[in-house]
Structure 1
Amino acid sequence: MTKIVLAGFLGMLLVAFVSARTWTDKKGRKIEAEYLSQTKGAVRLKLKNGKEVSVPFSNLSRADLNFLIEAEIASAEKENDKEPGDGEMEKKGSDGNKGGGIVIEVADPAWDRPVLREAILEVPIEVQEEKRGEFLYFSSANFRIVADGRMSSKGVLTILEVCELTKTYCESLPFGLSNRFKPVDGKYEIRAVGEKDEWIKMGRPEGNRSSFNPNDGQLEICLELFGLSSAGRGGETATRNLAGQMILHVSRCMLPEVYERNFMDWFTEGFPNLMNMAVYEKGKLDFTNVAEETKDLLMGKGSGRTPIFKKKIEMPKMSDLITQSVGGIAEEEGRRQFLAQSVLVMTYLTFLEDGGKATGLRQGLRYAHDFQKNQPKTIRYKDQEDLERQKAELKRLRDEMDDTAIAMMFRKRPWKEAEEDIAKLWKEKGLELIFPGAKNE
């Protein structure tokens, strides 16, 4: 992780771009202003009348945030090229903190953004339809449905909207997420199979309503198995289930490989299932009441829901939860409970901990992200013995990174203390979590 020693003052002063540019807020309002600097959570601008203003990152458009990231990179590169001198920033060398300055992390808008509670499509989706051979293609800005027959406009819009919203929301989070779908002709494809018989002919299990193949990066869904007609028409529950499945798959594809490789199912399955707690409305994903939605789901409140727990929720030790694999749980009920417990922990880390700032989670993920970024792309070795030695060392470093990143997610507290805080904050939301050895057990 890049660190810089600042002598005499706190904060990160970035290179000023002397030329003015147009800045746009989330409501589409525009101003001409000169970029001055950015600090944690805000950018400082100089208006045409000479007045200086501070604008939170949360108010800026995606284009503005991308500009700030580029400004951050340019500034860091310039500082790294400097020779240390009086009053200048110095890179931390092997002799540690020169001159008694304070070591801080380089600010980065991508990691300092707030955890938003909603995603809204800035403009309505425009669906492009075309026929190629026996298939119909329905496309939005980033996704394409490949259907084996005519689909209702509602079914098409639901799938494309939810996919676009999930991608947009995940990219807005300060967690280093990025899309790992493999595009085909510039779009991420979803194969929609209308009838169950055709789904089975394709070799897909009848018990699975959807399938994602990481090799070709294509998501497949069977409309009939969702309770929809072959054209995608159906009731509210079926449509909601379809939307939820889209959220699950798209958010899974937003997890970088380093997260999937180093964190167990409590995270890699807990995060997509947390995303599925959003309330989907036309053109909007709403996480405002995500804790309430999670509670209702676990307790079976709502149409068509089966309770996963009764009044109290028995939790495993956190040290056990983070090492558990859902595939290692034999009973279906046990798997459902494990996923629910994982969602509870992920909701805590994302929306409850530290007043909803997700401080620990973003620090841990950034540590893992930076670790991966600094790893060599190839291993150079003299012989097989040297190769095995280097591979073993790399595994050791990754294991250490895993432990360190998870410790940072939970603010480096003892597990018992973290469990108490999880239980306390969920109790405030109306859920009683019981960890082994807890006072209220």
Structure 2
Amino acid sequence: MKFPIKVICVGSSLFLSSSLYMGARTWTDVKGRQIDGEILTKTTKLVKLSMKGKAVEIPLTKLSKADRDFVASWKPSASESNKKQQTKKLGKPSSAEVEACFNIPWPKLVSADVGMEIEEKSGEDNTFIYTSENYEFVSNTKLSKVVVKRFAVLFEATRLYVQQIPYASMKSYRKGANYKVMLFDTMSSYHRAGGPMGSAGVYMASKDMIMVPCDSLGLVKRGSSWALDYDKTNKTLPHEITHQVTDREYYVPGARGWFSEGMAEYIAATPYRSGKFSANKAESAIEQYVTSFAKKDGRGRNLGKEINAPDLRQFMMMSYGQFTANGNFNYGLGALLVTYFNHYDGEGDGENIKNFLRALKAGKTGEDALEALRAGRTFEELEADITKGWRKRGVKINFG
């Protein structure tokens, strides 16, 4: 067995009910070697895993007994027929609809409905299901509707923020789609279900689902009930929510890494309070978050005002495994690049990055897609433009 790159999309720190619903875990073969992957399907002899974006079939006889037992107890979260029905119901947007979304104005203030209603019902295996307008939260612990409403507002606001950025991320426009989120009362239950060690939450792309422990929602246990810690801020959640509502075309080589993580960092670092993202303050907030530590919560990448960066082409084309291997630096630099292309490049209208995304939607990848971003410039000329753009704002980027 090989040692593939993890297929879990990670955020600023890494990010559901029981393992019967989730198949993400570290797998061990009979020789003790390990791989990371997530179950797609199983038979009496084989298990199909999603690893590094690819489906791989592994004979059960090659897995450890613990893994074979896990496979035996695992059940899919939804049938393939249900997934197909949902896709058919949602439909595919027309090219005119996509283009219209590229041409919306940049948002200044994004507000979610703080008066939303939360529905509650009992789920299987002693779980509790809470539903907001667009999200379904499955929890292994009972929560009050008031508490759920507080964090559901953040989920709904983040979806709206992604929708209102002129990136034409059409997935964020789905209405009543019930994006799936699974909640855990303890970190140990989160880890037992496949949550990565040392993580605060994770978006599982193959299941289109977020896993998150209650602590990462800002919840604290007081007696037998849960309450919200109002002093606790959260940048992990908006990051992972952004991944969940971003179009899959934006995760291909040439974009996955610097753009996909940089965009999620851009959203997460934008000032947020009580259902509102202050998008007009995003640029200065991101600069502070990347170069130092945020004043409010002390969190940040702390890369400093002078940053020695790798060759730009190399950075944009590196594999996702390479990108996450130096996560703090690369996520921060990705956020600075996304901010530059959003607001400082060309006429400051984000047209070049939108052309890049148009190219991705047209099926281009790698340097073919990046050609639209360069807009006739060599990578060296683009490096110079980025350096000049950020130097005006007190940040020096030295590409090597």
Question: Normalization by structure 1: what TM-score?
Answer: 0.61
Secondary structure in 1 aligned to 2:212? Answer: strand
**Larger C-alpha radius of gyration, 1 or 2?**
1
Say which of 240, 249, 260 aligns to 2:251: 260
- The answer to whether the 8 Å contact 1:314/1:433 transfers is yes
Partner of 1:138: 130
Say which of 307, 317, 323 aligns to 2:311: 317
Partner of 2:372: 408
Say which of 300, 303, 317 aligns to 2:293: 300
Deviation of 1:222 after TM superposition, in Å, equals 0.8
Q: Unpaired segments of 5 or more residues in structure 1? A: 1-68, 74-106, 373-397, 437-441
- The 2-side partners of 1:71 and 1:363 are apart by 14
Say which structure, 1 or 2, has more relative contact order (CA 8 Å, 6+ apart). 2
Secondary structure in 1 aligned to 2:202? Answer: strand
- The 2-side partners of 1:186 and 1:113 are apart by 23
Deviation of 1:182 after TM superposition, in Å, equals 11
- The answer to whether the 8 Å contact 1:170/1:251 transfers is yes
Distance 1:203 1:110, change over 3 A: closer
- The 2-side partners of 1:157 and 1:434 are apart by 45
Distance 1:111 1:301, change over 3 A: closer
- The 2-side partners of 1:330 and 1:267 are apart by 13
Say which of 271, 275, 284 aligns to 1:283: 275
Deviation of 1:414 after TM superposition, in Å, equals 1.9
Partner of 2:180: 189
Matched, 1:170 2:134: no
Partner of 1:353: 345
- The answer to whether the 8 Å contact 1:364/1:404 transfers is no
- The answer to whether the 8 Å contact 1:326/1:338 transfers is no
Deviation of 1:207 after TM superposition, in Å, equals 1.4
- The answer to whether the 8 Å contact 2:113/2:153 transfers is no
Say which of 169, 186, 203 aligns to 1:212: 203
Matched, 1:114 2:85: no
Partner of 2:398: 434
Supply the AA of the counterpart residue of 2:281: N
Q: 1:20-31, aligned counterparts within 5 Å?
A: none
Secondary structure in 2 aligned to 1:176? Answer: coil
- Alignment coverage as a number of residue pairs: 301
Matched, 1:247 2:238: yes
Q: 1:92-111, aligned counterparts within 5 Å?
A: 108-111=99-102
- The 1-side partners of 2:366 and 2:95 are apart by 30
Say which of 229, 240, 264 aligns to 2:220: 229
Distance 1:339 1:137, change over 3 A: same
Supply the AA of the counterpart residue of 1:261: V
Q: 1:377-392, aligned counterparts within 5 Å?
A: none
- The answer to whether the 8 Å contact 2:201/2:240 transfers is no
- The 1-side partners of 2:389 and 2:109 are apart by 21
Supply the AA of the counterpart residue of 1:319: R
**Higher mean Cα deviation, 357-366 or 131-140?**
131-140
1:346-382: per-residue Cα shift (whole Å, max 9, x none)?
A: 111113223541110111211221x23xxxxxxxxxx
1:142-171: per-residue Cα shift (whole Å, max 9, x none)?
A: 002122223355642343112212222222
- The answer to whether the 8 Å contact 2:200/2:216 transfers is yes
1:92-116: per-residue Cα shift (whole Å, max 9, x none)?
A: xxxxxxxxxxxxxxx9422222222
Supply the AA of the counterpart residue of 2:287: K
Secondary structure in 2 aligned to 1:289? Answer: helix
Distance 1:321 1:201, change over 3 A: closer
Distance 1:208 1:232, change over 3 A: farther
Q: Unpaired segments of 5 or more residues in structure 2? A: 1-92
Distance 1:365 1:309, change over 3 A: same
Partner of 1:90: none
- The answer to whether the 8 Å contact 2:162/2:172 transfers is no
> Sequence identity, in percent?
17
Secondary structure in 2 aligned to 1:258? Answer: helix
Deviation of 1:335 after TM superposition, in Å, equals 2.2
Distance 1:414 1:286, change over 3 A: same
Deviation of 1:221 after TM superposition, in Å, equals 0.7
- The answer to whether the 8 Å contact 2:210/2:244 transfers is no
- The answer to whether the 8 Å contact 1:142/1:187 transfers is yes
- The answer to whether the 8 Å contact 1:124/1:283 transfers is no
Supply the AA of the counterpart residue of 1:314: N
Supply the AA of the counterpart residue of 1:120: S
Secondary structure in 2 aligned to 1:434? Answer: strand
- The answer to whether the 8 Å contact 1:182/1:188 transfers is no
